[in-house]
Amino acid sequence: MGHLDGDDYKDLLKPMEIELVAMARWVADTGARVVVIFEGRDAAGKGGAIKALSDPLNPRQCRTVALGKPTERETGEWYFQRYVCHLPSAGEIALFDRSWYNRAGVEKVMGFATERQVQTFLKQVPVFEQQLVDDGILLFKYWLTCDQKEQEERLAERFEDPLKRWKLSPMDLAARHKYDAYSAAREAMLEASHTAHAPWTLVDFNDQKRGRLTLLRNFLDRLPEDRQEPAMPTFEPLGRKPEKETFGVLKPLPPFEG
């Protein structure tokens, strides 16, 4: 199966975007809380997948959580503590660009967590997620798969493109040589945390466009079947001639002419 071209991708994406907007209205109307976790290797396509899901939605309702390196204080907290404050309130959607699973992945492989800390995490995470689900949160966990050949090409593209170079960190370069270690860490993570109440879904992202469509279709299909889209308000004609905007104190900048 060849890579999907841009025009076909846009044609297939459009109806899903309409479904996403309807989903967001349902979330707001019912007070549902949605958490979507995006995990995977460096350059797997997490950012593009998050953008595909969030682009048609109101950023006040749908926000991306992408946490940096823990502060000194955060390293002394209960591990899940700094993630809890980013969970959604009623009517909100939180998209985690990496998540608490850092402990089972990059922290384990790159030596930022001890083996005891990793094993404690793997023991606690099913219980933590059971609490989230029991409290009514709709939790979706996606792992984006990517062969090393594709990963290398994408990392090289980031290095060559000045507009993408910010995505390339020293950690990404160091991790290139630990592909097998990341595979082993992923398998241990899946074995411990793929549960009936919070299952993982693996999505092939060797073709990123096709991967985004696969992920979005899966996400939309797994939402509650009995959800009812709230009625749209009616849009009545203004009933008079529209006003032209006028300015007194300040004037707008002149239009850009190139």
* 172-205 tens-digit pLDDT: 888 899 999 999 999 999 999 999 999 999 999 9
CA dihedral (184, 188, 189, 190) positive or negative? positive
Q: Is the per-residue pLDDT at 18 higher than 80? A: yes
Q: What's the DSSP call for residue 44?
A: S
Q: Is the per-residue pLDDT at 215 higher than 80? A: yes
| pLDDT value, residue 240 | 94
Q: Is the per-residue pLDDT at 38 higher than 80? A: yes
| pLDDT value, residue 4 | 84
CA dihedral (36, 102, 204, 8) positive or negative? positive
Burial of 145: CB neighbours in 10 Å, binned 0-12, 13-18, 19+: middle
Per-residue pLDDT tens over the stretch 144-173: 999 999 999 999 999 899 999 888 888 888
Mean of pLDDT over the chain: 95
Sheet bearing 138-145, strands edge to edge: 62-65, 92-97, 33-40, 138-145, 200-204
Domain ranges (residues) in the chain:
6-221
Among 1-5, 60-64, 113-117, 220-224, which stretch is predicted with the lowest mean pLDDT?
A: 1-5
> How far apart, in whole angstroms, are the C-alpha atoms of residue 66 and residue 70?
12
Q: Which CATH superfamily is domain 6-221 in?
A: P-loop containing nucleotide triphosphate hydrolases (3.40.50.300)
Per-residue pLDDT tens over the stretch 101-119: 999 999 999 999 999 999 9
> How far apart, in whole angstroms, are the C-alpha atoms of residue 12 and residue 169?
33
| pLDDT value, residue 169 | 86
Listed in order, strand segments (DSSP E) in the chain are: 33-40, 62-65, 92-97, 138-145, 200-204
Largest CA distance in the chain: 71
40: closest CA among 212, 220, 156?
A: 212
Q: Is the per-residue pLDDT at 252 higher than 80? A: yes
Listed in order, strand segments (DSSP E) in 52-197 are: 62-65, 92-97, 138-145
Pairing of strands 92-97, 33-40: parallel
| pLDDT value, residue 117 | 98
